A and B are shown apart, each in its own frame.
Chain A
Amino acid sequence: MKKHSRVGSRLAIGLMFLFLYAPIILLIIFSFNAGDSSAVWKGFSLHWYSRLFQNRLIMESVYTTLLVSLLATAIATVAGTFAAIGLYSLGRRRREALLTVNNIPMMNADIVTGVSLCLFFVAFFQGWGIFARWFNSIQSMVELPERLVLGFGTLLLAHVAFNIPYVILNVAPKLRQMDRNLMDAAQDLGCTWLQAFWKVMLPEIKPGIVSGALIAFTMSIDDFIISYFTAGSASSTLAMAIYGMTKKRVTPEVNAISTLLFLSVLTLLVLSNLKEVRQESRERLGTARKLSALERARQKFAEPRYLWVRRGLAGALVCAFVASVAFLSYATSSRPVVNVCSWGEYIDEDLITQFEEQTGIRVNYQTAESNEALYSLLKSGGADYDVVVPSDYMIGRLIAEDMLEPLDYSQIPNFSLIDDRFKYLTYDPDNRYTVPYTWGTLGIIYNTAMVDEEITSWGALYDDKYAGNVLLINNSRDALGAALMYLGYSVNTTDEEEIRQAYELVADANRRGVFQGRVMDEVFQKMEGGNAAIATYYAGDYLSMVDNQAEGVDLAFVIPEEGSNWFVDAMCMLKDAPHQREAHMWINFIASTEANLANMDYIWYASPNRLALEQYPDYYEELYGEELDQSVYEIMAAPPETLARCEVYLNLPSETLNLYKNLWTQLGVN
């Protein structure tokens, strides 16, 4: 071949690697950042690594990811190999037809696979529920579980389902290359079929099996979308945990876990490459080179008389793996649990630890993005929660659709501490289902460094002056509610014309490029970092943003002159919740004055607990040694005259809900 200068091509390859690795290197550098930003360097620290190992969500999801990838790879490799062997003994036409079906999961978009599997599992669970009820009613020997939900099992099945095709695809060519008579010859010479398979076929197709397993494992580790739709709420992979975190405040813990993952993969890769390189050089040098002690030991170990040692070691490793999995799953399943679903940045996490220490009940704490997303999660059968914390209007909807279980208030003595203003509210007129968690107001948060006037009206959200710097709140009720208030309508209007006008206001601003994005808890990072000027969000969150605002950012909060919404978020228990006793204990614990004070201090939302609300200024003074600013307290716990300007969201009739849903989908389209 013609020799020519390779400088240019190497430069291009180098540039591509720079592109591939620059983000990863930055990720690694910022894992050692002393500050909590991924963009501003504040000095070296290993702080995030120690935090990482205390972060149960991340550590558990790493465990789930590894476990599901390893198990799915193992199952898919065995099943796929045998399936490939079976397929290759079929006639050509049938084989090709089956291989086409085999290709479907690989060719299909991940989201289609994920969605269809999710629908399938849910349909199956419904069928199973009917069967189990019938089966349990005709006999009493075996009690079948009546309620199945998405979880680790479905996650594993889905991973196996999309991994098998890759294994088949890799094993098939090796089978095609193999001489079919070999197997017959071996059997003619007296081998049993199993021996022939083990001694003849397996060595031939081994490279295909190995590369198939490797690709299956890679796909499992890299997958997010299929897991997202099939894992349900109980188990989450690392990717799902990170996706959840990017919707909130991302801390460099994510960088730390990325660094660790990257380094461990790098080490594995270097080791395997070294082995290959050494093997090659050995082949080149023949036996001339003196073997190192390690290699001599390895060679000795490979001798046939050590066969039983090798087999024993492999067996022991497998047993250890199985035993540790079994032990861990036993350890987690034998302890009483309560599954809680709340919002992001919405609890002092020390409370979870306290509750676990006091009661021995494990709290599986998950978050949803918005009331509407929570509703989707519950409806799609993916949720296995006991306690949820929806807002007023959504509680109304859940009660209307018979999705909540009445509470036993005798198990919740702390309910008596709730201020009377927050009992028997419109969403739960007989107060049978709910214990209030927090309350607060919706308003406009703006960065006075980027906005040089005082904002007093919702109109600022739709103003071209701030184009590209306004954040639209990502839930239909609040986004359209603000527009309705700006237009002077009630937030609870059922008049289609009024709602459409409000939609048009938002959609028009969207078309003009006023909105930088649609956010829920991403708002923290955007506003604190000065990446956006104006947002609609909740009063309590404004106060926690002020606590974390970057240099040069000066946030202000206003309840616009047109009025606003005030809300109550309350704890309720889902229908047929599996852990009802634990759920009551959790609700009672959270309703206590101490927990409410801790929460108020941590999340800055007002407490519905009468004592906590009164005592908070003193609590604050004792804790920080300075007086709580009255204006801060009033933003947190809006005084009656402010509340008088605010309206509560009510549950809407189903036609209006449908309209909201359709308009909300439409909004993204434009």
Chain B
Amino acid sequence: MKNKLSWFAVPYVGWMALMVVIPILIMVVYAFTTAEFEGTLENFAEMGSYASVFLRSFRLALVATLVCVLIGYPVSYWMAHEGPGFQRMAMALIMLPMWMNFLLRTYSWMSILENNGLLNQLFRNIGVIDLYNQIAPFFVDLRNAIAAHFGAAQTNFVPIEYFELIGTPGAVVLGMVYNYLPFMILPIYSVILKLDSNLLEAARDLGADSGRVFRKVILPLSLPGVLSGVTMVFVPSVSTFAISRLLGGGTQMMLGDLIEQQFLGGAYDPHLGAAISMVMMVIVVVCMVVMNRFGEGEGEAVIL
């Protein structure tokens, strides 16, 4: 159909070209030039030395995504089987924190995880730290005994005053899971909700037990929800810089931190920053394409 309505698309095409395509092209130009805008590949030549940052980012983001799936899937599944009032309430409660900015939510974790923060205070007051200090020497002795047997180095037990929580990779993953969990729950929940109950009934009538129904029908049919959840959690996780900065204390440098540092941080080099952004973008896009291809095949196979 071709009519005058299609003219409505024209300004939008212009807008997209201006605000989506051209900015990315400019970024690509920056990535391939020096500070004097002469063509170069130097920015990419150094990429190898940032491999550890790439690895750390992808590792932490992967762990966070996995945790989100492990928490998000069962919760969405159970939620979809509750009454409508409960569901609406739960949905509202899941969306609610998103209207507070994610930095506020991350900030609240800072005061919880500090060395003298709320969690360590709690541990101290209920005696977990004393308990640890009493039990741990036993394990250290045990380890030393084994080490002595093999002639390895001995370690001394140093009593702790707090558990080290902030500034660890765990804290960063926690921040990601906390902030992006709703993005995992929402798509999975909406897919499970739309599942045709006749299919489940048919499967049961054909003799499948509930485990089999779940494995063979529910899981494959809810996969698209999981995949879009994975995308919505993984992409912001891999590129975050605020979470790693606030909860990682600057020692858990991630790709986002590296990029931010080249633009507004302590080492001004937008050309290198653009190159790193580009590499990250390409890797993420390839991951997503591969994953979606894999997911699609799976989904179709089941329907057929």
Residues on A lying within 8 angstroms of B by beta carbon are 1-2, 6, 9-10, 12-13, 16-17, 19-21, 23-24, 26-27, 30, 38-39, 65, 79, 82-83, 85-91, 98, 101-102, 104-105, 107-113, 115-120, 123, 157, 161, 164, 180, 193, 218, 221-222, 224-225, 228-229, 238-239, 242-243, 246, 250, 254, 258, 261-262, 265-266, 269, 273, 276-277, 369-370, 372-373, 375-377, 379-380, 382, 468, 474-476, 510, 515-519, 529-532, 550, 661-662, 664-666, 668-670
Known: A39-B111, A107-B285, A111-B241. A83 touches B12 (CB 8 A): yes
Judge whether B266 and A26 touch: CB under 8 Å. no
**Least Cβ–Cβ distance between A58 and chain B, in angstroms:** 12
Residue of B nearest to A276 (CB): B88
**Least Cβ–Cβ distance between B47 and chain A, in angstroms:** 11
Judge whether A24 and B118 touch: CB under 8 Å. no
A-B contact pairs, 27 of them (CB 8 A): A27-B104, A38-B111, A83-B9, A90-B6, A109-B238, A111-B256, A116-B24, A116-B26, A116-B27, A119-B27, A120-B23, A218-B99, A222-B99, A224-B101, A243-B242, A246-B110, A250-B107, A265-B100, A269-B95, A375-B268, A476-B266, A515-B251, A530-B115, A664-B267, A665-B269, A668-B253, A670-B52
Task: List B contacts of A193 (CB < 8 A).
Answer: 4
Judge whether A39 and B118 touch: CB under 8 Å. yes
Chain A binding surface SS class = helix
In Å, the complex CA distance between A377 and B1 comes to: 50
**Least Cβ–Cβ distance between B221 and chain A, in angstroms:** 16
Judge whether B250 and A379 touch: CB under 8 Å. no
Judge whether A30 and B236 touch: CB under 8 Å. no
In Å, the complex CA distance between A229 and B267 comes to: 16
Judge whether A242 and B74 touch: CB under 8 Å. no
Known: A87-B9, A161-B20, A518-B249. A668 touches B112 (CB 8 A): no
Task: List A contacts of B22 (CB < 8 A).
Answer: 120
Judge whether A531 and B266 touch: CB under 8 Å. no
Other contacts beyond A108-B235, A222-B98, A665-B262: 6, CB < 8 A: A90-B2, A224-B102, A225-B239, A258-B104, A474-B266, A668-B261
In Å, the complex CA distance between A88 and B1 comes to: 9
Per-residue interface assignment for chain B, residues 243 to 274, with 1 indicating a CB less than 8 Å from any chain A CB and 0 otherwise = 00010111101011111111111111110111
In Å, the complex CA distance between A501 and B90 comes to: 57
Task: List A contacts of B172 (CB < 8 A).
Answer: none
Judge whether B99 and A261 touch: CB under 8 Å. yes
Residue of B nearest to A519 (CB): B250
Task: List A contacts of B208 (CB < 8 A).
Answer: none
Task: List A contacts of B81 (CB < 8 A).
Answer: 1, 6, 9
Judge whether B268 and A476 touch: CB under 8 Å. no
Judge whether B268 and A101 touch: CB under 8 Å. no
Which of B2, B100, B264 makes the CB contact (< 8 A) with A382? B264
Task: List A contacts of B241 (CB < 8 A).
Answer: 111, 225
Judge whether B21 and A101 touch: CB under 8 Å. yes
In Å, the complex CA distance between A1 and B98 comes to: 34
Most buried by B among A20, A475, A665: A665
Known: A87-B12, A161-B20, A530-B116. A109 touches B280 (CB 8 A): yes
In Å, the complex CA distance between A261 and B99 comes to: 8
Per-residue interface assignment for chain B, residues 6 to 21, with 1 indicating a CB less than 8 Å from any chain A CB and 0 otherwise = 1111111101100111
In Å, the complex CA distance between A101 and B20 comes to: 8
Judge whether A86 and B6 touch: CB under 8 Å. yes
Per-residue interface assignment for chain B, residues 217 to 237, with 1 indicating a CB less than 8 Å from any chain A CB and 0 otherwise = 000000000000001000110
Per-residue interface assignment for chain B, residues 121 to 136, with 1 indicating a CB less than 8 Å from any chain A CB and 0 otherwise = 1000000000000000
Residue of A nearest to B8 (CB): A86
**Least Cβ–Cβ distance between B67 and chain A, in angstroms:** 11
Task: List A contacts of B167 (CB < 8 A).
Answer: 516-517
